Chain A
Amino acid sequence: MTTTGTTTDDDERPVALSEPVDDPFTTLPDLTPLRDAARAGDWPATQAFFTALASTENPVENPVENSAEKVSFASAQLAGLDGVETYLERAAAEHPADPLPRTLLAERYIRIGWAIRSRYRAEHVSRDQFEQFHDWLRRAERLLIDVCAEQPDNPAAWTARLLTARGLQLGQTEARRRYDRLSAHHPHHFRAQSQLLQQMCPKWSGSWEAAHAFAQECVAAAPAGAHAGVVVAEAHIEHWADLDGVEQRTYMRSVSVRDELRAAARESVLHPDYAPGWSWITADSAFALAFSIGGHFADAAAHFVSLEDRVTEYQWQYLPGWKAAFVKYRKSALATL
């Protein structure tokens, strides 16, 4: 880990904070056994990790801490580890009746496909890249169709099917149907909300009206202290990233956007009932970013205080040189305290 002892000319207080760390296996020590199991290609240990999550309390009144959120979160993190498809394929073959290895394998296929597609807008992706991308997603989808048939309440599988639906362009109503199927078992599932939000953005044939409305719908429906408020921040960041020039520079500065962000933060991460779970870094990262872009450093401060040097890079990547930007914004925000 690199440490930057940053002091600037006009700064009276030397700030000694590190560069941000975005590796979830580092920022969330709870995940260490999962990474160790994956590195060792150890299916029984992987299975034990997920079994332990599923058997924890699942209080409906506390959707943030429930096991579905953790299972879904951990599935996504495992999928980010290079090479795990090898042992997951083996596990799926050896345990054909168990949906878990197929679910995790499908998540990994999706990640492989998306890495080939790249993050760029469609016009910058070659035909060959698209073909490979779609091929991986179809492999994932075919696994997930059966998993969802076998386990209609599988939160990770339904969430992953939001990604396949988006990448394969199966349409807005199909994505929504999948979300609704998931919600019937796990309302306010944060990762799914975040994924459906992407689908509703114009880049995936949605609209800003639909995207913002969905974010507000999530907040309105969720109990106080749920992660749903984060979806509001994510929607504004997506909107901001899609704009250019003056429009982009002024978007987050507007009072109405700031007020919506403040309300959303109050309903989620700043709420007394907020239970951080494993998504809290993602949550605070989104608010820290949104407030910082708008120059609302006093609002951003609370989130940077929680984050310290932890971050989920996902939306921060919209900023060129985002790690430096993170350090700079954090400094400005902490200076307001």
Chain B
Amino acid sequence: MTTTEFAPEALSGLIGCTTTQGIPTLYAPRRGGQVTAGLFFRVGRADETLATAGLTHLVEHLALHRLQLADLHHNGATANTYTLFHATGDEDEVVAHLNSVCAALRELPLARLDTEREILRTEAAGGRSGSNSPLPLWRYGAQGYGLSSYDELGTWSVTPDQVGDWARTRFTRENAVLWITSESVPEGLDLTLPTGTRRPAPAATSALRTTPAYICGEDGHVVLTSVVRRSTAAAVFADVLGRALFQDLRQEGGYSYAAEADYTPRDADFATLTAYADALPQKQDAVVGGFVDTLARLRNGTIAQSELDSVRGKKLKMYDVPDFAAASLPGYALDLLLGHRILSPAEHRAELAAVTVADLHEVAREAWASTLLQVPGHRGVDWAGLTLAPQYSGTTGVTGSSHRSLESEDVTLVIGDEGVSVTTPRGVVTVLYDTCVAMTTRPDGARGLTGPDGFAVTVEPTLYLDVTPDRIARIDAAVPEAAVVRLPARAPEHVPRPREGAAQSQRSKDSGPATWVPTWLRTVGGRLLAVVAAAWVLLGGFTIVRQIIGPDGDLGGALAVALIEVPPVMLLRRLYLVHRMRRR
């Protein structure tokens, strides 16, 4: 083992810093016999494409395959911008585990690939793969940070070579950070990994033309996301917002059961602020109104000094936990991995102490400016100054052969030389071939094309007039091979047929209220695009990963403690899942 000293100034005297076989390593002791270690890689879902979505998750599963029967507690997690392998046990066990993970990453058991593909699809079907909130895809499109809204389509298509390349180029020593709760780096580690480069988190894309924006979603849920610059004040603001929503919507109004907010770093510079409230269907109008008013108060009204002080007090308490240094390791490691500034505890305390009510107002205004709000029903929130997110690509589509819908005479599919369009009386959805991020294919001729903006067109030969094999061949010839996802044959009963009287009902729907059912999860032909997540999981991203990593600005400390106490975390998670199931 080679050990080279490196030391972020801020951590001196608190946390040991070194490199282990080229991997930056943070360590600090913890009382008790058990050791916890985590190996982060700066690669995640946001680095994939829609056609390869799930690639990182497959590598993670393959790396852990041999270890599934080990006695120690361990797990892997794939998030938007990182992958984490972590384990808790005796020092020998943890060392053996890390060695085994790295050995598997060096030489992935690709013979297992097809089995792991099945496991991931089963995991997704069971709703256990984490978040499928639609908000990321509305904000970012079908790329980068938007991919967490989608199923892992790549489990169908990625080749062994692609998986192997991904491991070789992303799971490298330069692209990793190790942390371990011990006095020193244990003997016996063999973390040999290929050499590569530290890859910055991907740049954010945007599918929203203007913000604040809104979409209409399921009954019973109001969800806000916004993107703010990472700061101590912004992390404090998230807690102030959560408390204000709880006070206004639950304690005062009795409209909601759950009302909460969360702050999660997105990349080195920005964080995602999420706020959520549930509602009984008959009270959801009041929840939307209360939500809007709470946000307005935090922007322009009075924030009591006590609101700030109680959150500040709670945040300062994380320094009181035993083994604070060990508890803060995951947070520091993630900051190091993402290239975020590292604050010493003293610096962080000073920043916390310096946060003012005026700072919170400023964060509130910044958050509002980038807000994407999901509201229940079809009423919308344009009255509160938000703009409906784009429902169509535009007003003109591609030129080419026209194929009338067999379900609605107002709807036409156009297969052109540059792309495909579906035209409706209210707008046009277009996917261009050369920027198509994924095209699913079925042996029966069906094609599902998704553009980088998240708009999708499904070509079902049974639902449009004269979609002959040569038209399908035209599409196939034009879409880049890297975007093609070949899906297996469907059972005959799963091949769609035009609905009886569908043309009638489509017309009446289109002449309905101005707030047209606004989801591009649904292709305009009225069929669910099979590759897109339909399941809505509360407060997307409540995976164990996030529970472990915790918020930024407070060094991840408060929640990082959870990792040190893994059994309670598992219990909490179980309770949370039971609670969540009840609420759904």
A: residues with CB less than 8 A from B are 137-138, 141-142, 145-146, 148-150, 152, 164-165, 168-174, 176-178, 180-181
Contact = CB atoms under 8 A, between A and B. Distances in A.
Given A171-B285, A177-B253, A164 B383 contact: yes
Interface string B350-391: 000000000000000000000000000001001111000000
Among A142, A173, A181, the one with the most B-chain Cβ atoms within 10 Å of its Cβ is A173
B289 to A, nearest CB: 4
Contacts of A174: 285-286, 288-289
Contacts of A176: 286
B296 interface: yes
Contact of A149 (B288, B299, B385): B299
Interface of B: 253, 255, 282-286, 288-290, 292-293, 296-297, 299-302, 379, 382-385
9 contacts: A148-B296, A149-B299, A149-B300, A150-B300, A164-B383, A165-B289, A170-B285, A170-B288, A171-B285
Contacts of A141: 383-384
B286 A177 contact: yes
A165 B289 CA distance: 10
Contacts of B296: 145-146, 148-149
B286 A173 contact: yes
Label chain A's interface by main secondary structure.
Answer: helix
Nearest first, the 9 A-B pairs at minimum CB distance are: A171-B285, A149-B301, A149-B296, A173-B286, A174-B285, A177-B286, A174-B289, A149-B297, A149-B300
A170 B289 contact: yes
Nearest to B282: A173
A177 B255 contact: yes
Contact of A170 (B283, B379, B385): B379
Contacts of A138: 382-383
Contact of A172 (B285, B299, B301, B382): B285
Nearest to B301: A149
Contacts of A171: 284-286, 379
A176 to B, nearest CB: 7
Contacts of A168: 383
Nearest to B295: A149
Given A137-B383, A146-B296, A149-B296, 11 more contacts: A138-B382, A138-B383, A141-B383, A142-B384, A164-B383, A165-B289, A170-B288, A170-B379, A173-B286, A174-B285, A177-B289
Contacts of A145: 292-293, 296, 384-385
Given A141-B383, A178-B289, A173 B297 contact: no
Contacts of A148: 293, 296
A145 B299 CA distance: 11
A138 B387 CA distance: 12
Contacts of B282: 173
B510 to A, nearest CB: 15
B286 A149 contact: no
B361 to A, nearest CB: 11
A174 B285 CA distance: 5
Among A141, A150, A171, the one with the most B-chain Cβ atoms within 10 Å of its Cβ is A171
Contacts of B297: 149, 152
Contacts of B286: 171, 173-174, 176-177
Contacts of B292: 145
B253 A180 contact: yes
B385 A142 contact: yes
Contacts of B382: 138
A141 B300 CA distance: 15
B283 A173 contact: yes
A137 B297 CA distance: 21
Contacts of A142: 383-385
B290 A169 contact: no
Contacts of B384: 141-142, 145
A169 B381 CA distance: 11
Among B290, B292, B296, the one with the most A-chain Cβ atoms within 10 Å of its Cβ is B296
A150 B385 CA distance: 17
A138 B285 CA distance: 16
Contacts of A149: 293, 296-297, 299-301
A165 B255 CA distance: 17
A144 to B, nearest CB: 10
Nearest to A151: B301
A137 B383 CA distance: 8
A100 to B, nearest CB: 15
A152 B285 contact: no
Contacts of A150: 300-302
Contacts of A181: 293
Contacts of B383: 137-138, 141-142, 164, 168, 170
B407 to A, nearest CB: 27
Contacts of A169: 379
A225 to B, nearest CB: 30
A173 B300 contact: no
A178 B300 CA distance: 18
Contacts of B288: 170, 174
Contacts of B300: 146, 149-150
Contacts of B290: 177
Contact of B255 (A137, A172, A173, A178): A173
Nearest to A173: B286
A141 B380 CA distance: 14
Nearest to A142: B385
Contacts of A172: 285
A180 B289 CA distance: 12
B20 to A, nearest CB: 53
Nearest to B294: A149
A166 to B, nearest CB: 12
Contacts of B283: 173
Given A174-B288, A177-B253, A177-B255, A152 B379 contact: no
Given A137-B383, A138-B382, A145-B384, A173 B285 contact: yes
Contacts of B385: 142, 145
Nearest to A130: B514
Nearest to A99: B300
Given A168-B383, A172-B285, A152 B253 contact: no
B355 to A, nearest CB: 21
B244 to A, nearest CB: 12
Nearest to B292: A145
Among B292, B293, B299, the one with the most A-chain Cβ atoms within 10 Å of its Cβ is B293
A137 B284 CA distance: 21
A192 to B, nearest CB: 15
A137 B385 CA distance: 12
Nearest to A168: B383
Contacts of B289: 165, 170, 174, 177-178
A124 B216 CA distance: 29
Contacts of B293: 145, 148-149, 181
Contacts of B284: 171, 173
Among A169, A172, A174, A176, the one with the most B-chain Cβ atoms within 10 Å of its Cβ is A174
A146 B283 CA distance: 23
Nearest to B514: A131
A152 B301 contact: yes
A148 B379 CA distance: 22
A291 B435 CA distance: 73
B238 to A, nearest CB: 19
A279 B282 CA distance: 34
Contacts of B299: 149
A164 B253 CA distance: 20
A16 B382 CA distance: 54
B496 to A, nearest CB: 35
A169 B383 CA distance: 10
